[in-house]
């Protein structure tokens, strides 16, 4: 079975983990410090890096440190992984969804302005599938309305925007290292930021609120959670980070092969390539009505050919939790269409060109059902 994703690990990763296991220090320690330094180096710009036990924790820590809470509204795309919106609910704030563009799958900046109210405190753009959001118009709006911009770059480690690494701007940007991401620490995440005041609060939120003074004495003056990354994950991350650009080059080449081989067809919407795309996922849209199949039938036909695909993602506003905020079918047509029509084709560095060709033939045969 060809999976839609698989982490790329070899003896170097296994040895790095074994070394930590044998060292006697498994929790946050020297490997985390080294990984944070290596990530800061990789991202570039004038930023500080903090790693977390998940991308979700990193995102939550920023909203909490910023004081987002009840009565506040936070703008987020209606199509993303649900964590992008759950973190808003976690803080007691209200998610305000905005539709996404059908091709880039990213938040439609032209629709963000209309969603801003006097209660809006933040915008969370998501760099979907490794494609950078066009950030300039978002930052302009944020400046006009004095809003926090928290970039959800969970899917975008190694993505570049205008020739610079995502995360290097100094604004808060969070990454995920979940095993299906372009590099992994098993579970894990990171925050890149250049804001010493916010960072001090975030350090407390990350680890029990504990503050240490120069003598090493500790105090707790505000609540903190438990969001730290263990050294085992960081040791894995150090090895994966060295290989990340190579992984992403491979992803780009495979994505380009998909784009060359998949046909133009009125039942098919393909993603497009842009400079700096890290191709975390390759998601197509298939118009099931035109093809004369439903998605489950298509998944079954692909399974019979030993091809597993994903469905990233259902529209968030249609989940029961978010319907409670008054959202309903028809609110965000692109997000809903993506939710119904999307298929994530296999894409990971260990894939061969022949695997791409095989998947393309299978998609062509689905289209030929017409
Ligand atoms: C867009 C987006 N945001 C947030 C997350 C959460 O990251 P994690 O799984 O590391 O908590 C993910 C993970 O898939 C994601 O895709």
DSSP letter at 129 equals: G
Q: Which residues are catalytic?
A: 181
Paired residues of 75 in beta bridges? 96, 123
CA–CA separation, 184 and 197 (whole Å): 29
Query: Which residue has a Cα nearest atom 8 of ligand 1?
Result: 55
List residues near ligand 1 (CB under 6 A): 54-56, 80-81, 83-84, 126, 152, 154-155, 176, 178, 189
Residue 225 neighbours by CB under 8 Å, 6+ apart: 57, 61, 205, 206, 207, 208
**Count of H-run helices and E-run strands, the chain:** 13, 15
pLDDT at residue 370 in the model: 54
Paired residues of 191 in beta bridges? 50, 174
Q: According to the 3-state scheme, what is the secondary structure of 92-124?
A: CCEEEEECECCCCCCECHHHHHHHCCCCEEEEC
Instruction: For the beta carbon of residue 177, count every other beta carbon within 10 angstroms.
Output: 31
3-state secondary structure of 252: helix
CA–CA separation, 19 and 26 (whole Å): 10
Closest CA to 123 of 111, 112, 110, 114: 112
pTM for this predicted structure: 0.98
Paired residues of 189 in beta bridges? 52, 176
Residue 253 neighbours by CB under 8 Å, 6+ apart: none
Here the tokens at position 320 are 């029961």
CA–CA separation, 203 and 324 (whole Å): 33
pLDDT at residue 369 in the model: 76
pLDDT at residue 289 in the model: 96
Give the number of the atom of ligand 1 that is nearest the alpha carbon of residue 188: 10
Centre of ligand 1 to C-alpha 80, Å, is 9
pLDDT at residue 160 in the model: 98
Tens-binned pLDDT, residue by residue, of the chain (370 aa): 999 999 999 999 999 999 999 999 999 999 999 999 999 999 999 999 999 999 999 999 999 999 999 999 999 999 999 999 999 999 999 999 999 999 999 998 899 999 999 999 999 999 999 999 999 999 999 999 999 999 999 999 999 999 999 999 999 999 999 999 999 999 999 999 999 999 999 999 999 999 999 999 999 999 999 999 999 999 999 999 999 999 999 999 999 999 999 999 999 999 999 999 999 999 999 999 999 999 999 999 999 999 999 999 999 999 999 999 999 999 999 999 999 999 999 999 999 999 999 999 999 999 987 5
Contact 335/341 with Cβ under 8 angstroms?
Answer: no
Which domains does the chain carry?
A: 11-238 (3.40.640.10), 245-367 (3.90.1150.10)
């Amino acid at each position: 079975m060809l999976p839609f994703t698989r982490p790329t690990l070899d003896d170097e990763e296994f040895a790095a983990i074994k070394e930590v296991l044998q060292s006697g220090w498994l929790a946050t320690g020297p490997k985390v410090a080294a990984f944070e330094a290596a990530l800061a180096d990789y991202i570039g710009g004038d930023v500080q890096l903090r790693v977390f036990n998940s991308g979700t924790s990193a995102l939550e820590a920023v909203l909490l440190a910023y004081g987002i809470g009840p009565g506040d509204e936070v703008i987020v795309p209606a199509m993303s992984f649900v964590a992008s919106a759950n973190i808003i609910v976690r803080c007691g704030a209200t998610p305000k969804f905005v539709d996404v563009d059908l091709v880039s799958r990213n938040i439609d900046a032209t629709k963000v302005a209309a969603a801003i109210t006097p209660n809006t405190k933040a915008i969370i753009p998501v760099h979907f599938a490794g494609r950078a959001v066009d950030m300039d118009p978002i930052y302009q709006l944020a400046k006009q309305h004095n809003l926090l911009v928290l970039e959800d770059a969970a899917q975008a480690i190694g993505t570049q925007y205008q020739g610079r690494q995502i995360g290097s701007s100094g604004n808060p940007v969070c990454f995920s290292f979940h095993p299906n991401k372009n590099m992994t620490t098993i579970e894990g995440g990171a925050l890149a930021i250049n804001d010493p005041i916010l960072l001090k609060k975030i350090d407390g939120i990350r680890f029990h609120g504990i503050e240490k003074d120069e003598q090493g004495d500790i105090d707790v003056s505000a609540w903190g959670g438990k969001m730290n990354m263990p050294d085992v994950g960081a040791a894995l991350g150090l090895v994966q980070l060295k290989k990340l650009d190579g992984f992403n080059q491979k992803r780009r080449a495979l994505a380009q092969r998909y784009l060359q081989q998949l046909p133009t067809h009125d039942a098919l919407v393909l993603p497009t390539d842009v400079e700096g795309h890290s191709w975390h996922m390759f998601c197509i849209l298939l118009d099931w009505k035109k093809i004369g199949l439903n998605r489950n039938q298509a998944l079954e036909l692909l399974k019979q050919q030993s091809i597993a695909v994903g469905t990233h993602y259902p529209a968030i506003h249609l989940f029961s939790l978010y319907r409670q905020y008054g959202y309903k079918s028809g609110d965000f047509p692109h997000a809903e269409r993506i939710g119904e029509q999307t298929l994530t084709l296999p894409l990971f560095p260990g894939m061969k060109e022949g695997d791409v060709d095989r998947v393309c033939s299978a998609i062509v045969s689905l289209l030929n059902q017409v």
